[in-house]
Amino acid sequence: MKKITLICMSSMLITSASMNANTLENNNFKYSVDKFADIEILRYQVPDFEKLTLKQKELIYFLSEAALEGRDILYDQNNKYNLTIRRTLEAVYLNYKGDRESAEFKHFTIYLKRVWMGNGFHHHYSEDKFIPEFTAAFFAKAIKSIDAKKLPLGKNETVEKLIKTITPIIFDKTIYPKRTNQAQGVDLILTSANNYYGENVTQAEVEAFYDKMKDPKDNTPISYGLNSKLVKENGVLVEKTYKVNGLYSAAIKRIVSWLEKAENVAENAKQKEVIASLISFYKTGDLKTYDDYSIKWVKDLDSQVDFVNGFTETYGDPLGLKASWESMVNFKNIEATKRTEIISSNAQWFEDNSPVDKQFKKEKVKGVSAKVITAAILAGDCYPATPIGINLPNANWIRRDHGSKSVTIENITEAYDKASLGNGFAEEFMNSKVERQRAKDFASMTNNLHTDLHECLGHGSGKLLPGVDPDALKAYGSTIEEARADLFGLYYMGDPKMVELGLLPNNEAYKAEYYQFIMNGLMTQLTRIVPGKNIEEAHMRNRQLIAAWVFEKGKTENVIEMIKREGETFIVVNDYVKLRNLFGQLLAEIQRIKSTGDFEGGKQIVENYGVKVNQTLHTEVLDRYKKLNLAPYRGFVNPVYTLVKNEKGEILDVKVSYNEGYAEQNLRYSKKYSSLPNIN
């Protein structure tokens, strides 16, 4: 199940709430880097990096290099032709001698930038294949115009064969149309374009293969399939494990080499054990070792520098089994963490007072830790698009027995907020000055607090009943899990306990988050949907599910209205107290579905409330959004870290800079961190 929250941010929403006191004060810092198609690229700052010790800086540097070495793995996981296509596009971009100001080449450049954003030729969020606006004829001519030695040709492969292979993949809408298919009534494996399974492997075969491995009596089940590709060899299903001397070995060896350097500068013995355990997992591919690593990682609460590195989230697999490769390196924001420490120290109170049935509650909440972090590097499935909060590990039994780590990534939310100043979104979509002023005063604060509650308590709350398969909800599992965490956060946002604990300044502030969430779930997130399409991404399904359910259930008491003013639709929340009660009722039902493994219940609530789009409203929202000239999606470039050495080669310092462009960074990454074959 996915534990990372990719919130739609209504990050187009303007807030003027004060930012973290540790923010770098630099009025000349340019957050916006590039803009193309439906995407804006931002950069983020790394405040207080210079205050870290030399050893901590070295640790961040080595972990960052380990993070960047995994880039090609994700491309290949997303589709087996992604590396060939990316390398071909980059070769043309770097070596094309024709008219680079022509419309064809400009469209070509946009397409390449979209490939970088999506880590392949599918949209990073909708996962639909995007089709270029340049022609196949231009593409073929451009490829033929450059030195063949610059192209990613396989053994005995000609330029003509390369063109013949990748042209239909790029231009034909019917080939690999969806990276991760969640539609009903089809084989989800055969109709998904990702590379987690071999040719002609069916959904039924996958489910049967892994069902045989599971022991329903095992109280500490292994996450079977997490780090492997399932293929057929001579008609027999075989796992190809991601490990040293296994699948993706070339990249994993380089990851390990940097982790070994990081191990030597670990902050303490616990962190050293964590890194050593991860190295052992990469070398063996053994999932029991991965569990050991996860337990050690969740128990390391003393280190200021922390990281995620590996096969972690299962969003890319429609069955939620296979994990994509990702990494994030970070360090604790000590001042801001005081907020999350208040939340985690009261975890048992929140669990005990939850509106869910007692049988689904944890009798004793274990090991809930939470902190606010400063991201230092984003990589794999966290780059260029990134989460704003993380809660790991994902294994339910580890969370039950050992706890979890929850983080809010505040320098990322800060970048979103700063880049959104004055963009007109609130004026266009919020109902009145009342909602806009409330957002201006409190939205930044309540956005962060909702993320804290979602990650720290929401994902860590509740329990499965004995014997319930963690994968029982199958394709609906991610949506139900995200809805559960969001609802937990929403329910408690409006609790007087927030003011009592000093997390909100008054009993009005929570309304900013409630209004934003409902407006986003019912309306504004539709800016991310292609006309005529329904919702497929799990976080978006979750948000519409919640908003549509409370809207429908609250109709008799007029809790929420959708009004028309001069032909435009606006959301009006008439009763915030009753809205909170509805959030509580839905949380109780979603937790029941999760705890009992009620597949049919999960299917019904997701399909009835989270999938279908009101096409008339969708058209209106798109028209209103278009005039604002805003990009509905945002990604990031990373800062650049440079070692400062003396004549003996000893490291004296690590410097951070923020001047690398989007194309410049991706081309550098492709040159420096690309070790895998074209086809794996």
What integer is the mean pLDDT of 622-638? 95
pLDDT of residue 547: 98
Residue 359 lies in a domain: yes
pLDDT above 70 (res 25): no
State whether 346 and 493 are in the same domain: yes
- Residues 109, 14, single domain; the answer is no
Are residues 534 and 427 located together in one domain of the fold?
yes
The reply to whether 13 and 139 lie within a common domain is: no
pLDDT in tens, 574-600: 999 999 999 999 999 999 999 999 999
Co-location of 12 and 106 in the same domain: no
pLDDT in tens, 524-581: 999 989 899 899 889 999 999 999 999 999 999 999 999 999 999 999 999 999 999 9
pLDDT tens-place string over residues 144-193: 999 999 999 998 999 999 999 999 999 999 999 999 998 889 999 999 99
Same-domain check for residues 447 and 548: yes
Number of domains in the chain: 2
Q: What is the DSSP string of 487-532?
A: HHHHHHHTSTHHHHTTSSSSTTTHHHHHHHHHHHHHTGGGGGS-TT
Own/partner pairs, 572-581, CB within 8 angstroms, 24+ separation: 572/431, 573/511, 573/514, 573/515, 573/518, 576/494, 576/510, 576/511, 576/514, 577/494, 578/554, 579/494, 579/514, 579/518, 579/550, 579/554, 580/490, 580/491, 580/494, 580/495, 580/514
Inside any domain, residue 50: no
Residue 108 is part of which domain span? 80-121+132-172
Determine the pLDDT at residue 463: 95
pLDDT value at residue 23: 39
Residue 265 lies in a domain: no
Amino acid 27: pLDDT = 54
Same domain flag for 14 and 92? no
Long-range contacts of 507-512 (CB under 8 A, 24+ apart): 508/438, 508/442, 509/438, 509/441, 509/442, 509/445, 509/446, 510/446, 510/576, 511/438, 511/442, 511/573, 511/576, 512/438, 512/439, 512/441, 512/442, 512/443, 512/446
Averaged confidence pLDDT in the chain = 94
Location of structure tokens 């590709």:
229
Residue-level pLDDT at 18: 34
Asked if residue 434 and residue 516 are part of one domain, the reply reads: yes
Contacting residues for 236 by C-beta, under 8 A, at least 6 apart: none
Could you tell me if 8 and 153 lie in one domain? no
Q: Is the pLDDT of residue 24 over 50?
A: no
Residue 158 included in any domain: yes
pLDDT higher than 60, residue 8: no
Q: Is 232 left (phi over 0), alpha (psi -120 to 50) or beta?
A: beta
Residue 422 exposure: Cα atoms within 13 Å on the Cβ side? 0
Strands 560-565 and 568-573: antiparallel
Query: How is residue 361 written in tokens?
Result: 């509650």
Instruction: State the Cα–Cα distance between residues 599 and 596, nearest whole angstrom.
Output: 9
Q: Are residues 12 and 107 in the same domain?
A: no
- Which pTM value belongs to this model? 0.85
CA distance 324 to 311: 5
Question: Tell me, what's the pLDDT at 10?
Answer: 38
Asked if residue 668 belongs to a domain, the reply is no
Do 403 and 490 lie in a common domain? Answer: yes
Predicted local distance difference test score (pLDDT) of residue 409:
95
Residue pair 487/481 in contact by the 8 Å Cβ criterion = no
Q: Confirm whether 519 is domain-assigned.
A: yes
Q: How confident is the model at residue 3 (pLDDT cuts 50, 70, 90)?
A: very low
Identify the pLDDT of residue 1: 35
Mean pLDDT of all residues in 121-130: 95
Q: Per residue in 304-332, pLDDT tens? A: 999 999 999 998 999 999 999 999 999 99
For the cut 90, the answer to whether the pLDDT of residue 359 exceeds it is yes
Residue 669 within any structural domain of the chain = no
Residues 382 and 487 in one domain: yes
Residue 261 falls inside a structural domain: no
Q: What is the DSSP string of 52-102?
A: S-HHHHHHHHHHHHHHHTTHHHHHHHH-TTHHHHHHHHHHHHHH--S-TTS
